[in-house]
Amino acid sequence: MDKDIDQINPYDDAMGRITEVAERYNIDEKDIEILKHPKKILMVNFPVHTSRGLKIISGYRVQYNDALGPTKGGLRFHPHVSITEVKALAFWMTLKNALLDLPYGGAKGGITIDPRGFTQRDLEEISREYIRQIHSFIGPAKDIPAPDVYTNPKIMGWMMDEFGKIKGEHVPAVITGKPLSIGGSQARSYSTAMGGFCVLREALAKYKINPLQTKTAIQGFGNAGMNLAKIMNSNNMIVVAVSDSKGGIYDKNGLNIKSVINHKNETGSVVNFTGAKNITNNDILELNVDIVVPAALENVITQKNVQNINAKIILELANGPITRKADKMLYEKKIIVLPDILANAGGVTVSYFEWMQNLYGARWTEEEILKKLDNRMKNAFDELYDNYVSESYVDFRTAAYAYAIKKIIQAEKDRGRI
C-alpha cells in the first residue's frame, strides 16, 4: 500500500523522482546510483551562551555532489531543520546548478533554531560559532554557503568575517549574499524573485497568455514572495492575494503591494490589511486565480489539496512545495508547473556572479547583472521547452531533472568516477 503522503519526507520524494526520470530516459541504473547518496555530511552540536542561557545548537552541512565544481547552496535557520530536509535541499541544489550551467555542485546547510526567539547578539554568536565548527569544510573552491530561509546579508557578513579571522586573510568569495559594503552583489537581494519573474514571463509568452489579464496569489511574503509581488506590480500584473506565517489576505480587485508591505512592517504580518479579506495559507493555494506562487516551505501542495488547485500556472519559488504524487495529478489537470530548480534559480545565479566578482576583484553594475540573469533564465527555459517539453510531451520538472541528471552523470564519467 502507498505510504501516506504526510509520512513521505522530501528526500524520499526526491529520490523517487530521479528513479522515474532514469526509467523514462533509459539512464543506466548504475549511473544514477551516485546521485542517490550525498558525498559528504557534516553534523555539529555546539554550546552558545545566549540571552536565554546556555543553548546547545545543532547544525548541518551537506555537500551532495561536486562533479561540476565546488559545492554551492544556502544556509537556513529554522526550528524544523533536520538532516533529511537538508539532504533533499542539497540534492535540489545539485540539479539546479547543473540546469543553469553554473560551475558548481550542490550543497545546503541549516541550523535548528527559531531565530525569532533570539536577540541579534545571540544570532551573531550562533553564526560565528557555526563557522568555527565547519570552517575546514567550506571555502571558495570547496563549498560556498549563501542565505536561505530566515538568514540574510547581515548573517552572511558575520560568517564571512569569522571565516577570515580563522584563516587570517580576507576571503570574500567564501560566502555569497553578503552586504554590498563587504563584497556583496548588486541585485542579489531580489534575484530569486527576478529569476522567477523571468521564467514566468517566458512561460506566459510561450503559452500565449496575456500577463496583464492574469491574477496571482503568492503564498509566502518573505524575501522571494514580497519581491516577486513588487516586480509583478511594477509590470502592471495583478496580485490578488499574499500570505505569511500568520495568515493571508485576498482582494479580488488586486492588492496595493506597497501598502501591504507598509502594513506588514508596522504590524508584523499581512493579516488584517484594510480592504482585504483574511484567508488561511491553505486557502491561498486554492483561489480561482491564473497563477499560484508557493514561496514558503516544502510540501504545501499534496494529494490532500491538489484537486482544489485552480490555477493555470504554478511558479515554485519555494523548494519542493509540491509532492511527487500531487505533481502527477497537476499534469493530468494540464496545470503548468514551473519547477523550483528552474523557477527559483535566480538566487544562486546572482550568487555565482557575486563569487566571480569576489574572485576577480570586480564590481558589476545592477544593469549588467540583471541582463546576465535574464539571459541565463531565458536560455534555461528555452532549453527545457524546446528540447524536452515540446518534443517529448513531458512536464517541466521531468525535463529539468533529465537535463541536469544527464549533465552530472557525464561529468562523473569524464572524471573517471563511474
CATH of the domain at 44: 3.40.50.10860
Residues 118 and 243 in one domain: no
Span 310-320, pLDDT tens digits: 999 999 999 88
Span 224-245, pLDDT tens digits: 999 999 999 999 999 999 999 9
Rounded to the nearest angstrom, the gap between the alpha carbon of residue 235 and the centroid of all alpha carbons in its chain is 23
Residues 216 and 126 in one domain: no
Q: Is the dihedral of CA 280, 282, 283, 287 positive or negative?
A: positive
Residues 49 and 124 in one domain: yes
Q: How far is residue 188's CA from residue 88's CA, in Å, rounded to a whole number?
A: 24
Residues 130 and 203 in one domain: no
- Indicate which CATH number applies to the domain containing 252: 3.40.50.720
Q: How far is residue 248's CA from residue 264's CA, in Å, rounded to a whole number?
A: 11
Question: Per the structure block, which three cell numbers stand in for 223?
Answer: 524575501
Domain assignment present for 384: no
Domain assignment present for 382: no
Closest CA to 211 of 220, 202, 223, 221: 202
In the predicted structure, residue 6 carries a pLDDT above the cut 50: no
Question: Is residue 217 a contact partner of residue 240, using CB atoms and an 8 Å limit?
Answer: yes
Residues 81 and 106 in one domain: yes
pLDDT band, very low/low/confident/very high, at 1 (cuts 50, 70, 90): very low
pLDDT band, very low/low/confident/very high, at 187 (cuts 50, 70, 90): very high
pLDDT band, very low/low/confident/very high, at 8 (cuts 50, 70, 90): low
Query: Which pLDDT score, from 0 to 100, does residue 389 have?
Result: 87
Q: Which residue range forms the structural domain that includes residue 327?
A: 191-338
Q: How far is residue 260's CA from residue 330's CA, in Å, rounded to a whole number?
A: 31
pLDDT band, very low/low/confident/very high, at 10 (cuts 50, 70, 90): confident
Q: Parallel, antiparallel, or unpaired: how do β-strands 53-65 and 40-50 relate? A: antiparallel
Query: Which pLDDT score, from 0 to 100, does residue 160 have?
Result: 98
Q: pLDDT over 90 for what percent of the chain?
A: 91
Question: Per the structure block, which three cell numbers stand in for 98?
Answer: 547543473
Q: pLDDT over 70 for what percent of the chain?
A: 98
Give the end of a domain, one of 174, 202, 232.
174
Residues 166 and 206 in one domain: no
Question: Is residue 358 a contact partner of residue 139, using CB atoms and an 8 Å limit?
Answer: no
Q: How far is residue 237's CA from residue 225's CA, in Å, rounded to a whole number?
A: 14
Closest CA to 370 of 188, 241, 223: 188
Number of Cβ within a 10 Å radius of residue 117: 12
Domain assignment present for 112: yes
Q: What is the mean pLDDT of the chain?
A: 95
Number of Cβ within a 10 Å radius of residue 154: 15
Domain assignment present for 31: no
Residues 164 and 197 in one domain: no
Range of lowest pLDDT (22-26, 152-156, 173-177): 22-26
203: left (phi > 0), else alpha (psi -120 to 50), else beta?
Answer: alpha
Residue type for position 374? D
Domain assignment present for 369: no
Residue 372 annotated in active site: no
Query: Which pLDDT score, from 0 to 100, does residue 354 have?
Result: 98
Number of Cβ within a 10 Å radius of residue 33: 11
pLDDT band, very low/low/confident/very high, at 369 (cuts 50, 70, 90): very high
Give the end of a domain, one of 147, 174, 201.
174
Q: How far is residue 209's CA from residue 201's CA, in Å, rounded to a whole number?
A: 10
Average the pLDDT over 365-379 and give the result.
97
Domain assignment present for 244: yes
Residues 146 and 200 in one domain: no
Query: Which pLDDT score, from 0 to 100, does residue 7 have?
Result: 56
Q: How far is residue 266's CA from residue 337's CA, in Å, rounded to a whole number?
A: 34
Average the pLDDT over 358-383 and give the result.
97
- Which pTM value belongs to this model? 0.93
DSSP letters for 76-104: EE-TT--HHHHHHHHHHHHHHHHHTT-S-
pLDDT band, very low/low/confident/very high, at 4 (cuts 50, 70, 90): very low
In the predicted structure, residue 43 carries a pLDDT above the cut 80: yes
Active-site choice (108, 178, 215, 230): 108
Span 271-307, pLDDT tens digits: 999 999 999 999 999 999 999 999 998 889 999 999 9
Domain assignment present for 2: no
> How many residues belong to the chain?
418
Q: How far is residue 225's CA from residue 230's CA, in Å, rounded to a whole number?
A: 9
Name the β-bridge partners of 278.
249
Q: How far is residue 300's CA from residue 283's CA, in Å, rounded to a whole number?
A: 11
Give the end of a domain, one of 338, 364, 393.
338
Question: Is residue 58 a contact partner of residue 110, using CB atoms and an 8 Å limit?
Answer: no
Q: How many domains does the chain have?
A: 2
In the predicted structure, residue 80 carries a pLDDT above the cut 60: yes
Residues 147 and 253 in one domain: no
Alpha helix ranges (H) inside 253-345 = 257-267, 281-285, 324-332, 340-343
Q: How far is residue 186's CA from residue 189's CA, in Å, rounded to a whole number?
A: 8
Residues 219 and 261 in one domain: yes
Residues 208 and 333 in one domain: yes
Q: Helix, strand or coil for residue 414? A: helix
Span 344-365, pLDDT tens digits: 999 999 999 999 999 999 999 9
Q: How far is residue 171's CA from residue 140's CA, in Å, rounded to a whole number?
A: 8
Q: What is the CA radius of gyration of the chain?
A: 21
Residues 198 and 150 in one domain: no
Domain assignment present for 245: yes
